[in-house]
Amino acid sequence: MRSSRAAVPPTGRDVARRAGVSQATVSLVMGDKWHGRVSARTAEAVRAAAAELGYRPNLAARSLRLGRNRTALLVVPALTGDFFARVHAGAARVAAEHDFGMVLYPSPEGVGPAPDPFSSARSSLDGVIASSMAPEALAALQSGGLPLVMLDSDPADAEGGADATVNLDIASGMRAVAGHLLRLGHLRVGHLSAEVGSWTFRVRADALYTALAERGATLTGTEPAELSVTGGLRAAARLLERKPETTALVCDDDLLAAGACKAVRRRGLRVPDDISVTGFDDLALATAVEPELTTVRLPAEEIGAAGMDALLAVLDGRAARPGVLPVSLVERGSTSAPGAASRPGGG
């Protein structure tokens, strides 16, 4: 006859007995405090014993003991698009590995202050990670009184406010785009710039203009664009109408690049035979369009994970490792040597 009594969950003592260690060692390992105190082999033995027994730490008791809620807030400019979804995935993965929860909070467009999440939520959060935010949006975060880690944000804005920063090598990515087009022979290049006043887009513009000037290429124009496919289409149409001699369009984002490709086709031209188009971010959209976009791949999950690692270090009183993560140029079918549009009065 089956007993009606519920199974008794395993305890730290059970794990210690299985692993042949003390309960204190189990607490160190399960609380991720073992580094420098016990060997990696012992830590692995404890984790294996916990997995075999199905042991889970008493998070409520640990939170009371540590004075923490084990919850982090990730603030992003918007919830649309897959870049910030991947940032969240990376941060949430590391958070889960350390028994932290992750709350996602959108700050509209990342350019203005969102409704303050701290007045009611401050007591339930341990720290904040902010990704790709403009200075005016960061002001509210920096005054929130919680540990703050900034991702893909101006390091200068962090002075006196953020506890750590983790960035992407955005400038290197845009220099790679410029170098690729210059090697192909493009000397008349237009720029579709995102109408978002954040650090990451300022860096893209500065790096592009400097790279073109150093090689004697001409910037035929900079056209501000709403960050959408439609925005890219309209901006590219305006630029090509004014500067038909343009042979390549460098776009701040893959959404803009997709719109630029539509604008080129509507002029009766072809990508890349007549005009090359480049994007930035390597969103899923980059391989959904035809031809597929030459673009810069940003390690979104990696920067999310690094941000959560940095926040955990701050919470543990350790020095967070500041970092700049590398990016990479992905060459696809939307770029080639200049074609018909390179001739005077092209088109």
The domain locations on the chain are: 12-57, 69-168+300-325, 170-298+330-342
What is the spatial distance between Cα 108 and Cα 236, in angstroms, rounded to a whole number? 25
Encode pLDDT of 190-213 as tens digits.
Answer: 999 998 878 889 999 999 999 999
**Class of CATH domain 12-57:** mainly alpha
Query: Does the fold of domain 170-298+330-342 match that of domain 12-57?
Result: no
Q: How confident is the model at residue 73 (pLDDT cuts 50, 70, 90)?
A: confident
pLDDT for res 316: 81
pLDDT for res 2: 43
Q: What percent of the chain has pLDDT over 90?
A: 46
Report whether pLDDT(24) > 50: yes
Report whether pLDDT(168) > 90: yes
Report whether pLDDT(61) > 80: no
Closest CA to 201 of 164, 162, 231, 227: 227
What is the spatial distance between Cα 269 and Cα 186, in angstroms, rounded to a whole number? 17
Report whether pLDDT(188) > 80: yes
Q: How confident is the model at residue 180 (pLDDT cuts 50, 70, 90)?
A: very high
What is the spatial distance between Cα 298 and Cα 281, in angstroms, rounded to a whole number? 5
Q: How confident is the model at residue 23 (pLDDT cuts 50, 70, 90)?
A: confident
Q: Which residues contact 264 (CB under 8 A, 6 or more apart)?
A: 236, 240, 249, 270, 271, 274, 275, 277
Report whether pLDDT(216) > 50: yes
pLDDT for res 30: 77
Q: Which residues contact 155 (CB under 8 A, 6 or more apart)?
A: 165, 167
* Lowest-pLDDT choice from 46-55, 157-166, 249-258: 157-166
Average pLDDT of 168-183? 96
Q: How confident is the model at residue 59 (pLDDT cuts 50, 70, 90)?
A: very low
pLDDT for res 63: 44
Residue with tokens 């750590």: 164
What is the spatial distance between Cα 93 and Cα 90, in angstroms, rounded to a whole number? 5
What is the spatial distance between Cα 201 and Cα 220, in angstroms, rounded to a whole number? 19
Report whether pLDDT(28) > 80: no
Q: How confident is the model at residue 27 (pLDDT cuts 50, 70, 90)?
A: confident
What is the spatial distance between Cα 229 and Cα 288, in angstroms, rounded to a whole number? 13
Encode pLDDT of 99-116 as tens digits.
Answer: 888 888 876 544 445 555
Average pLDDT over the chain, rounded to an integer: 83
Average pLDDT of 38-48? 88
**Class of CATH domain 170-298+330-342:** alpha beta
CATH number (3.30.9.10, 3.40.50.2300, 3.20.20.70, 3.40.50.300) of 69-168+300-325 reads 3.40.50.2300
Report whether pLDDT(170) > 80: yes
pLDDT for res 334: 97
Report whether pLDDT(5) > 70: no
* Lowest-pLDDT choice from 73-77, 157-161, 202-206: 157-161
pLDDT for res 157: 60
pLDDT for res 325: 94
